[in-house]
Chain A
Amino acid sequence: MAYGHAVAGRQASRVGRGALAEKMVIDSDLRAAGKVEEEILKEAARHGYCEACRFAIRLALEEGLNNAIKHGNGFDPAKHVEVIYQVGPRETSITIIDQGRGFDPSSVPDPRADENLEKPCGRGIMLMRAYMDEVDFSPKGNTVRMVKRNTGKA
């Protein structure tokens, strides 16, 4: 499937002063998620985010998108994922919205606990929280907003 088909829509709007907020709507398709990552990382590079910040954004974004596609939407081709992002010189905020039933993030077991250490999954949210400065879920659980501040170190 070409990226062009997987990205169902895109729009931009200015939210207050400062950075332009962009919105991309993608199919529940991991390849389309890659396209979103490329766009946001390109903007972060353009704004001079340090390598560590860009690594963090890429990792948290991939985890968030994977969760939305796999767990939220269950790879359902009828469901989309919305990504609303704003990349500014001081910080980047990313909101990911899936069309799933929602879940309770606090119900996810700690992947670092001894009994969970060798399980193949369950680390996504932990990594998002470790690498982003803010991670907040909506009460329903199908929307997550993440923020990374640009530390400005080379």
Chain B
Amino acid sequence: MREQAPRLKVSSLGDATIVEFVDRKILDEVGISQIGDQITALVAQAGQAKFIMDFTGVAHMSSSALGMLITIQKRVRERSGQLKLCGIHPAIMEVFTITRLNEVFDIHPTRQDALASLNG
């Protein structure tokens, strides 16, 4: 069976870097570590370290993905950067709430809201 490779679409909007999960309705264990490595590399290379992760289209997420996000947020903070999450499906949002991670991450309904919330 052919494996689906996880895909990230990285773009810029002003001085913010937007990361989207394209063609990927599911963030599963296999893809998570690859995605984590890719985003960590982006953070290391970024000048301004203003990141928006757009979860539009993500229908499933395991606790490993949450762990990956926590690690990424730590890397961004180490660079005095900002990380915003947006476009989270209500069922996924419930996972964030149940784990109290809605208190750890800065989550916005839309990309525009996330952009508007960036400082500087």
Binding site for B on A (CB under 8 A): 2-4, 30-31, 33-34, 51-52, 55, 58-59, 62-63, 66, 111-112, 117-121, 123-124, 126-127, 130
Q: Is B5 an interface residue (CB 8 A)?
A: no
Q: Determine if B95 and A127 form an interchain contact, defined as CB atoms under 8 angstroms apart.
A: yes
Which residues of chain B are within 8 angstroms of A30 by Cβ–Cβ distance?
A: 28-30
Evaluate contact between B62 and A62: CB separation under 8 angstroms: yes
Which residue in B1, B66, B74, B100 is a CB contact (below 8 Å) of A2? B1
Q: List 8 A-B contacts (CB under 8 A).
A: A30-B28, A55-B91, A63-B62, A66-B29, A66-B63, A118-B70, A120-B67, A126-B99
Q: Does B116 contact A (CB under 8 A)?
A: no
Bitwise, B25-38 to A at CB < 8 A (1) or not (0) is 00011100000000
Main secondary structure of the interface of A (DSSP, over half): helix
Chain B contact residues, majority secondary structure = helix
Of A4, A33, A117, A120, most B-chain CB atoms within 10 Å: A120
The CA-CA distance from A149 to B63 in the complex, in Å, is 22
Q: A117-B100, A123-B99 are known contacts. Are A58 and B67 too (CB-CB below 8 A)? A: no
Q: Complex formed: what's the CA distance from A34 to B1 in Å?
A: 12
Taking the closest CB of chain B, its distance from the CB of A122, in whole angstroms, is 8
User: Taking A2-B1, A31-B3, A112-B100 as contacts, is the C-beta distance between A59 and B67 under 8 angstroms?
Assistant: no
A51 CA to B98 CA, complexed, in Å: 18
Q: Nearest-CB distance from A58 to chain B (Å)?
A: 6
Does B60 sit at the interface, judged by CB under 8 A? yes
> What residues on B are CB-neighbors of A123 within 8 Å?
63, 66-67, 99
